[in-house]
Amino acid sequence: MLSEPIKLVSNYRDILNIAYMVSNVCNYKCSYCFDGCNDGTKRFKEDWIKVSDNLIHLLDYYKEHSTKKKFEISLLGGEPTLWKHLPEFCSKLKLHHNVSIMIISNGSRTLDWWKENSKYFDQVVLSLHIQETNIDHFISVADILYENNVVVTGLVMMDPDHWMQCTEAIEQLKTSKHTWAINLQSLEDNSKRKITYTDEQAEFIKVNSLIRRGHWLYLLKNMFKSYYYQKEPIATFSDGNKRKLQSNEAILNDWNHFKGWSCNIGVDRLFINVDGTVSGTCGQLLYGEKYHYNLYDINFKENFCPVIKPVVCQKESCLCVTEVNLTKKKV
């Protein structure tokens, strides 16, 4: 019988990683968008002061009741830059805590918007959607971010039905004024569209996933702008061997089934869903509680008082790479 991991250890040290889906409103309509991510059913929060107060309370609470001192927050959508309160929201978080803010954006806001607001972001992943993106504009946005000391990565969504345009777009990105990183991303099926790559296309994405590394200045900025922790876990195998796993190795080998294991979701990482639910992307109940806390609870500050501890996984499969790689062990 093949040996399998029985324990994973990643080292987040004093850092709590939070992914927060701020809405599912988007100005693009990509055919491969994840189900529920652009249907506009969950609007941006008008009461941004209340939401930010609640999130700051959550960070205060972790600081007081755990080893966490720094916070890495990714703001996701939909398209997060369409939230008119995004700049104030980020500014307030940074005022209160040691927070590194990352957004994933389609880059469609005007150049003036990016010039004015890039100071609120530490990292921006700009996703290029071949049927929607104006590539000249995309390049200008990435260059503005670079010039404003933001760690920017261009992420080309490789659509097999528009393959030639995608490869041409990559060449066009390489003509940018500054050398930011360019990565390629394969697409996943959704309920409306099945994605099929030819062997050559799959190989191209695999070999070129990081098709352009950033200039050394980009890498230097990266060191200062993002927190470093050991995201790729050390695995202990059933035969006693120990080694580091590649980031998606557990999923590729079907080692991502942890029902009954102890898992550090809630300790090192949180996912705040578009309805405000505080959980993992897996939907697991946290802290050993029988209900989910909710960031939009009007009494969140009074109610959010969990004992921060690992959970016992109740899920059949773990599908988010970040969460697969959290510290966990078979019990």
43 binds ligand SF4 (CB under 6 A): no
26 binds ligand SF4 (CB under 6 A): yes
154 binds ligand SF4 (CB under 6 A): no
Asked whether 166 and 176 are in contact (CB, 8 A), the reply is: no
106 binds ligand SF4 (CB under 6 A): yes
Choices 24-32, 84-92, 213-221, 297-305 (CB under 6 A): range interacting with ligand SF4: 24-32
159 binds ligand SF4 (CB under 6 A): no
122 binds ligand SF4 (CB under 6 A): no
Query: Of the two residues 221 and 273, which places its CB atom closer to ligand SF4 in the complex?
Result: 273
Choices 15-23, 77-85, 89-97, 205-213 (CB under 6 A): range interacting with ligand SF4: 77-85
Query: Of the two residues 127 and 294, which places its CB atom closer to ligand SF4 in the complex?
Result: 127
- DSSP-based three-state secondary structure for 152: strand
Sheet of 123-128, strands arranged across: 210-212, 181-186, 151-158, 123-128, 99-105, 70-76, 15-21, 269-272, 277-279, 293-294
Query: Of the two residues 221 and 322, which places its CB atom closer to ligand SF4 in the complex?
Result: 322
Interface of this chain with ligand SF4, residues 127 to 146, rule: CB under 6 A:
127, 129
Asked whether 74 and 19 are in contact (CB, 8 A), the reply is: yes
Q: Looking up tokens 């039905």, which residue turns up? A: 161
Biggest CA–CA distance in the chain, Å, is 60
Strands 99-105, 123-128: parallel, antiparallel or unpaired by DSSP?
parallel
Choices 11-19, 22-30, 113-121, 191-199 (CB under 6 A): range interacting with ligand SF4: 22-30
79 binds ligand SF4 (CB under 6 A): yes
- DSSP-based three-state secondary structure for 224: helix
Q: Looking up tokens 């700049």, which residue turns up? A: 87
Query: Of the two residues 108 and 294, which places its CB atom closer to ligand SF4 in the complex?
Result: 108
Sheet of 328-329, strands arranged across: 242-244, 230-237, 5-11, 328-329, 262-263, 311-312
Choices 4-12, 76-84, 244-252, 299-307 (CB under 6 A): range interacting with ligand SF4: 76-84
How many whole angstroms separate alpha carbon 195 and alpha carbon 188? 6
If one counts every other C-beta atom within 10 angstroms of the C-beta of residue 70, the result is 18
263 binds ligand SF4 (CB under 6 A): yes
**297 CB burial (10 A radius; 0-12, 13-18, 19+):** middle
Taking the complex as a whole, how short is the minimal distance between the CB of residue 306 and ligand SF4, in angstroms?
15
Spell 314-330 as b/e; 16+ CB within 10 A means b: ebeebebebbbbbbbbe
H helix intervals, 66-152 = 86-96, 111-117, 135-147
Query: Of the two residues 11 and 149, which places its CB atom closer to ligand SF4 in the complex?
Result: 11
Taking the complex as a whole, how short is the minimal distance between the CB of residue 215 and ligand SF4, in angstroms?
27
267 binds ligand SF4 (CB under 6 A): no
28 binds ligand SF4 (CB under 6 A): yes
Taking the complex as a whole, how short is the minimal distance between the CB of residue 49 and ligand SF4, in angstroms?
26
User: Mask: binding to ligand SF4, 281-300, rule CB under 6 A, as x and -?
Assistant: -x-x----------------
Asked whether 161 and 195 are in contact (CB, 8 A), the reply is: no
Query: Of the two residues 273 and 284, which places its CB atom closer to ligand SF4 in the complex?
Result: 284
Which residues are at the interface with ligand SF4 (CB under 6 A)? Answer: 26, 28-30, 33, 37-38, 77-79, 106, 127, 129, 258, 263, 265, 280, 282, 284, 311, 313, 315, 318, 323, 328
